[in-house]
A and B are shown apart, each in its own frame.
Chain A
Amino acid sequence: MNMLKLGWKYLMVKPWNTGLNILLLALGLSIITVLILIQDQFENKMNRDAAGIDLVVGAKGSPLQLVLSSVYHIDFPTGNIPLDEAGKLSANRLIKNTIPMGLGDNYQGYRIVGTNHDYLELYGTEFASGQAWRQPFDVVLGSVVAERLELEVGDTFVGSHGIAAASHEHDEHPYKVVGVLGSGGNVVDQLILTSIESVWYSHDDEHDHEKMEQEVATTGLPEITADETREITTLLVQYRNPIAAVQLPRMVNSRTSLQAASPSFEISRLFELLGVGISLIRGLALVIVSIAALGIFIALYNSLKERKYDLAVMRAIGASKGQLFFLIILEGLMLTSMGALFGILIGHFFLFILVMFNEQGVMSGLTASVFLRREWWIVVYALIVGVLASLIPAWNAYRTDIATQLTK
């Protein structure tokens, strides 16, 4: 016999009551678990994906939309910008480097992004197989795309217009897979990368077969002939020095037809907006946890009324007041620690379901299999709830008058 077993035996006198109290607490804690997991991973993901990008320049519109569409690939682009304007901006002395991007097509919901090899360097990508694109319509697949679509080097596919699945197909221009990237745990895993030229040529009405044989630009902006008018969607900008952060966005926004948006600023703004919702959900979870704590208190308090004789018998056969106090506290702790354990597991399961149903959306790249140190605080928090909920019943047990109870 030991105290744990003794407490458990008494909890199992009313298994349904015990089970429901544990479940209620677990549900409240599972919401907190999901919030912690999403918040932590989402912030990390957002920061990781935007690392190295100081400014995004695109068409006028919502700056947040520009950042979401160009950096995180989770919104529609604000429009296109003329290549010559992008070229002029790239030549600015405050800019160290620019990476052009051409968006607008997808393959089975995965975005086809026209860019150059600097984009691969920006995210430090490594090839699992094959190599980077050299010619129009060569593509490199992110690891998730290759895995989910079961594509490998040498395979071909036809892209669709638009950035969501089920749009019309560019069946005249099949893409050829020339490389597959290893998993980087960032936005690139979900993309199909190709040259800017591929994006242009797939939308051209006339097809120049000579161009298809030429090498594409691997850095900077693609060169075009004087009679050509081309557009790109956005420019990812890296500053040359800190002064650029002060001067460049203002200059772009006021003196050009373009729009400049800072990813770090826009994401902070997004988190502020989301913060209200997160606080509300967290508040709801705390209410559920409080109800669960009240339930545990009532369960222990009521069970104590029924157990007074048992407690008196225990005292008569040698249990000290302290042992009975500890027994009741232990029962509260057992309930809440099980609630915490199940809550954390249910929370991870919730996230698993959320990610499963949102593979290509904002939840992509999140994982339910990561256990964070912060989750230990859920256990600590639950144990505190357990002690608080069992304190009054335990005190009543401590004060049990043996003689009075035994003579009743």
Chain B
Amino acid sequence: MISVDSIQFAYNKDQTFIIPDFEIKGGEALLVLGKSGSGKTTLLNIMGGLLAPQQGQVLIDGVSVYALKGNKRDKFRGKHIGIIFQKPHILAPLTVEENISLPRFFVNKPSNEKVDHFLSELDILDKKRSTIQTLSEGEAQRVSIARALVNEPKVILADEPTASLDDENAKIVVNLLKEQAAKLNAALLIVTHDQRIKDQIEQRITITRKDL
């Protein structure tokens, strides 16, 4: 379970992002809607332990993410938070298998079985040894999802996961994320401005930016 409590964040004095308190339980999904520049990605970075807020806290299974410092927070993020970026951002020098096994390596977990499991779950097992350059956009997005899931995180954060996909693939990806979150009993948060997917997730919040 992840909960966000009294978070406030400002890049400068003139601009504050106001984020409502919310909570996502394991297996549940929440859609965060907002226009460009409304602070969606900022929220995702704060929840992912990548950007410390000036106020408030993010709790994952009772652990305050920002109470953890340096290396401990990095390891906590690696083990418990899976992040899916707007673009797949797969590391080009590595193969599909190596990309997916990387999060497990960083947190000192053996990789073989889990990598194969998620390759299979995401229907890209045949691409295991492929280089990134040979993948289609949809396949690349699946690889990035597999990489986010391979450590079986408690929280899955997806930043505009459907932005570059057509309608059909957008629907497939959201269903895939919901399905995997349910299987892993993980809390799923999708931030997007993509109106096509708003009907696929029941829980929704909207965030706004307050200009002073």
* Segment from A26-34, A213-221, A313-321, A373-381 that makes contact with B: A313-321
Judged by a CB distance under 8 angstroms, whether B135 is at the interface is: no
Contact of A317 among B45, B93, B147 (CB under 8 A): B147
Query: Contact at B74–A9, with CB atoms within 8 Å?
Result: no
Q: How far apart are the CA atoms of A10 and B94 in the complex, in Å?
A: 9
Query: Contact at A318–B78, with CB atoms within 8 Å?
Result: yes
Judged by a CB distance under 8 angstroms, whether A407 is at the interface is: yes
Q: How far apart are the CA atoms of A406 and B93 in the complex, in Å?
A: 19
Q: Which residues of B contact A (CB under 8 A)?
A: 41, 45, 48, 50-51, 70-71, 74-75, 77-79, 83, 85, 89, 91-94, 98, 101-107, 111, 147-148, 151
Closest to B101 in A: A1
User: Could you tell me the distance in whole angstroms from the C-beta of B157 to the nearest C-beta in chain A?
Assistant: 10
Closest to B104 in A: A1
Chain A residues within 8 Å of B111, by CB? 1
Contact of B94 among A9, A320, A403, A406 (CB under 8 A): A9
Closest to B76 in A: A318
Q: How far apart are the CA atoms of A352 and B181 in the complex, in Å?
A: 65
Query: Contact at A316–B77, with CB atoms within 8 Å?
Result: yes
CB-contacts of A55-97 with B (<8 A): none
Q: Mark A277-321, 1 if CB is under 8 A from B, else 0.
A: 000000000000000000000000000000001100111111111
Judged by a CB distance under 8 angstroms, whether A131 is at the interface is: no
User: Could you tell me the distance in whole angstroms from the C-beta of A406 to the nearest C-beta in chain B?
Assistant: 7
Q: How far apart are the CA atoms of A13 and B85 in the complex, in Å?
A: 23
Q: How far apart are the CA atoms of A398 and B194 in the complex, in Å?
A: 35
Total number of A residues with any Cβ neighbor in B under 8 Å: 25
Contact of B106 among A9, A323, A403 (CB under 8 A): A323
Q: How far apart are the CA atoms of A1 and B92 in the complex, in Å?
A: 15
User: Could you tell me the distance in whole angstroms from the C-beta of B103 to the nearest C-beta in chain A?
Assistant: 4
Given A313-B85, A403-B51, check contact A12 B103 (CB 8 Å): no
Query: Contact at B151–A318, with CB atoms within 8 Å?
Result: yes
Query: Contact at A320–B71, with CB atoms within 8 Å?
Result: yes
Given A1-B102, A12-B93, check contact A319 B78 (CB 8 Å): yes
Chain B residues within 8 Å of A35, by CB? none
Which secondary structure dominates chain A's binding surface? helix
Query: Contact at A402–B50, with CB atoms within 8 Å?
Result: yes
Contact of B107 among A2, A316, A318 (CB under 8 A): A318
Q: List 8 A-B contacts (CB under 8 A).
A: A1-B101, A1-B104, A1-B105, A313-B91, A317-B83, A318-B151, A406-B50, A407-B45
Query: Contact at A318–B79, with CB atoms within 8 Å?
Result: yes
User: Could you tell me the distance in whole angstroms from the C-beta of A328 to the nearest C-beta in chain B?
Assistant: 14
Which secondary structure dominates chain B's binding surface? helix
Q: How far apart are the CA atoms of A323 and B70 in the complex, in Å?
A: 12
Chain B CB within 10 Å, residue with most, of A13, A313, A317, A323 = A317
Q: How far apart are the CA atoms of A52 and B119 in the complex, in Å?
A: 77
Judged by a CB distance under 8 angstroms, whether A19 is at the interface is: no
Query: Contact at A321–B89, with CB atoms within 8 Å?
Result: no
Judged by a CB distance under 8 angstroms, whether A322 is at the interface is: yes
Chain B residues within 8 Å of A10, by CB? 93
Q: How far apart are the CA atoms of A403 and B94 in the complex, in Å?
A: 23
Chain B residues within 8 Å of A2, by CB? 105
Other 5 A-B pairs with CB < 8 A, given A318-B75, A321-B70, A322-B71: A13-B92, A313-B89, A313-B91, A320-B70, A403-B45
Q: How far apart are the CA atoms of A47 and B67 in the complex, in Å?
A: 70
Query: Contact at A1–B98, with CB atoms within 8 Å?
Result: yes
Given A316-B83, A317-B106, check contact A13 B45 (CB 8 Å): no
User: Could you tell me the distance in whole angstroms from the C-beta of A100 to the nearest C-beta in chain B?
Assistant: 73
Query: Contact at A320–B74, with CB atoms within 8 Å?
Result: yes
Chain B residues within 8 Å of A321, by CB? 70-71, 74
Q: How far apart are the CA atoms of A319 and B105 in the complex, in Å?
A: 9
Closest to B48 in A: A316
Given A317-B106, A318-B151, A406-B85, check contact A9 B98 (CB 8 Å): yes
Q: How far apart are the CA atoms of A323 and B98 in the complex, in Å?
A: 17
Q: How far apart are the CA atoms of A9 and B78 in the complex, in Å?
A: 22
Query: Contact at A319–B89, with CB atoms within 8 Å?
Result: no
